[in-house]
């Protein structure tokens, strides 16, 4: 594998951390992804990624992780680094799909938000949502 082609693994829920959107918001190739996804889900993802309470809720974390994964990938592309392959763990599969143009990231953000909401209604609160 050459240095300009890498395999990319997108993480699932549980990999979130405070400030995870900050580096991507500062990059011109990534900032539009965060802005578009924020608009699609109705919440500023950069600010939310600095909020420990938001990062503890599935409804916020899923679209935020998706957007950060897509944004990070856009930075790699902007730097001339292409994927030899992509994969995702759990929710990371959405980011992988968006980055190989199988699905549009804004649609995925809406779907991940809907999916987390539907899952909560079916099975009760997620461990990270309990007590909220």
Query: What separation, in Å, do the N-terminal and C-terminal C-alpha atoms of the chain show?
Result: 47
Sign of CA dihedral 130, 115, 93, 110: negative
pLDDT in tens, the chain (132 residues): 456 788 999 999 999 999 999 999 999 999 999 999 999 999 999 999 999 999 999 999 999 999 999 999 999 999 999 888 889 988 888 888 888 766 555 566 666 665 555 455 444 454 444 444
Alpha-carbon span 111 to 119, nearest angstrom = 12
The pLDDT, as a whole number, for residue 103 is 55
Residue 20 contacts by C-beta under 8 Å, 6 or more apart in sequence? 49, 64, 68
The pLDDT, as a whole number, for residue 112 is 66
CA distances from 74 to 14, 24, 25, 119 (A): 22, 9, 12, 30
* Nearest one of 110, 82, 81 to 94, comparing CA atoms: 110
Tokens 């997108």 belong to residue: 10
Tell me the domains of the chain and their CATH numbers.
Answer: 5-127 (3.40.366.10)
């Amino acid at each position: 594998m050459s240095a300009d082609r890498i395999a990319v693994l997108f993480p699932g829920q549980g990999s979130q951390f405070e400030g995870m959107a900050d580096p991507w918001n500062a990059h011109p190739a990534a900032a539009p992804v965060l802005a578009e996804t924020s608009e699609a889900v109705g919440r500023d993802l950069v600010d939310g990624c600095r909020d420990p309470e938001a990062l503890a809720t599935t409804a916020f974390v899923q679209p935020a992780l998706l957007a950060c994964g897509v944004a990070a990938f856009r930075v790699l592309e902007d730097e001339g680094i292409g994927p030899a392959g992509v994969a995702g763990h759990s929710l990371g599969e959405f980011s992988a799909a968006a980055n190989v143009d199988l699905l549009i990231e804004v649609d995925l953000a809406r779907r991940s938000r809907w999916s987390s909401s539907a899952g909560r209604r079916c099975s009760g609160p997620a461990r990270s949502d309990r007590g909220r």
